[in-house]
Structure 1
Amino acid sequence: AEDLAYAEIYALLPADWKLSQEDFENEDNYWPIRQLKTLARFPHLYGTWIGEGHTIANGNPPQPMSDNCNFEGVILLAGYTMSEEFTFIDTGDKVISVLSMVPLYAEEMDYKLKKGRDALMEKFDKYNIGEIIDIHRKNTCKKKFGLF
């Protein structure tokens, strides 16, 4: 993880997302910011690192991010829709990974843990899941008849 010691995490919000201080008093508006702060503290609190493809649950046991969505975790993705020039910043003495925070449903987190990152990305491609947070997006791994 020495090569991955530095990371920046971002989230892309829809243009109409409410961003005022007053709006942030409502968790339905604030949860992406709260999640970014949680991710920023994660390596320091747990003496670990975060990197591309990592999934991080919202609590233990995982809980929905807010009342207006059922996301229970996130996956960190490098270069999901941004160019590689944006995804890795070489400062000369260190390389900084720039990772996108993409919210996940519980079933998607389970699927990724069982089948791997690439399998989940195939599902995202199949359902045209983008990087901009969409609280109404399709759950790509919703179980049907007990199968993924």
Structure 2
Amino acid sequence: MAMKDWFRRKPASENVGTSKGGSRLIRYGDRSDLKPEVGFLDESTLSNTEERERVYSDLFGESDTVLHELLPLVPHIDVYRFPPNGKRDFFTFVTGGMSDLPMNSPSELGADYRRAELVFYSTEDRDDYPELLRRLAHFVHDNNTWLHWGHSMPNGQPPERLFDTKHLDSLFFMPSIVNPDSTLGDRLQIDSDPVHLIWCVPITTAECQLKLDNGTDALYDLFDVNKHPFVFTGDRQSYV
């Protein structure tokens, strides 16, 4: 399935109460256009959730909202919103549950590439952002594939614009440059596999092609020259 089909729908959400920690729980709307695996993971994953939330609290502060997936999809994906606080003046959106199942990464790459969660930093709060992360987390498992640092992905073929932008229609995945977020793999493991954080960065088609033609270092260099901010502030011109 093309990514544009995942991002085109914006199912309605419904406030269904609060979690034990006081965070708002939101139920997603209809997903009849998708065919994810339906069922329940083993109850042992509950311990993953508890440990993940403990580590998240240490890294990001206190979450004020959990976008909670109530349909029995495998894996179960929540998206946590961490608002600005005394140490961070931006919103942090992080998936929880993508790492409950190992991704279908090449076996020769080893444990460092099997489990991950997604993060997105923004100056504002929009429903589009956690929805993007949730769909990406399901896309990986529903398509028996994997994501990691250095990967890129157009938003469909031909690429369609992300959010309300005019130029950003693709995604680049890289390690977080925010501390202490970048230490997640040292703090959180599942079945001895480190859980790494993948930062989702909106880019343009030209930037995506530059990376494909010249490698990830070329895109990193371009970000460096243009002082690319780690916090998403909305649309921008292409650096290429």
- Mark yes or no: TM-score above 0.5: yes
Instruction: Give 1:120's aligned residue.
Output: 219
Q: Highest CA radius of gyration, 1 or 2?
A: 2
| CA displacement, residues 29-83 of structure 1 (integer Å, 9 cap, x when unaligned) | 4332222122101211211111011112212221001334421111111133445
Sort the Cα spacing of 1:32 and 1:118 in 2 relative to 1 into closer, same or farther, 3 A.
same
Structure 2 spans left out of the alignment, 5+ residues? 1-104
Which protein has the bigger strand share? 2
Instruction: Give 1:11's aligned residue.
Output: 120
The CA distance in 2 between the partners of 1:11 and 1:31, in whole Å, is 11
AA at the equivalent of 2:119: Y
Percent identity reads 22
Task: Find out whether 1:50 has 2:159 as its counterpart.
Answer: no
Cα displacement (A) at 1:9: 0.5
AA at the equivalent of 2:156: G
The CA distance in 1 between the partners of 2:162 and 2:197, in whole Å, is 23
How large is the RMSD of aligned CA atoms in angstroms? Answer: 2.0
AA at the equivalent of 2:176: G
Cα displacement (A) at 1:138: 3.6
AA at the equivalent of 2:218: A
AA at the equivalent of 1:8: E
Task: Work out which of the residue numbers 111, 132, 136 in structure 1 matches 2:235.
Answer: 136
Check conservation: 1:53, 1:77, Cα contact below 8 A.
yes
Runs (4+) off by over 4 Å:
none
The CA distance in 1 between the partners of 2:137 and 2:239, in whole Å, is 27
Sort the Cα spacing of 1:44 and 1:115 in 2 relative to 1 into closer, same or farther, 3 A.
same
Cα displacement (A) at 1:87: 5.4
The CA distance in 2 between the partners of 1:115 and 1:87, in whole Å, is 28
Structure 1 spans left out of the alignment, 5+ residues? 20-28, 142-148
Instruction: Give 2:133's aligned residue.
Output: 36
Cα displacement (A) at 1:137: 3.0
AA at the equivalent of 2:120: A
Check conservation: 1:43, 1:49, Cα contact below 8 A.
yes
Check conservation: 1:79, 1:87, Cα contact below 8 A.
no
Higher RCO by CA contacts (8 Å cutoff, separation 6 or greater) = 1
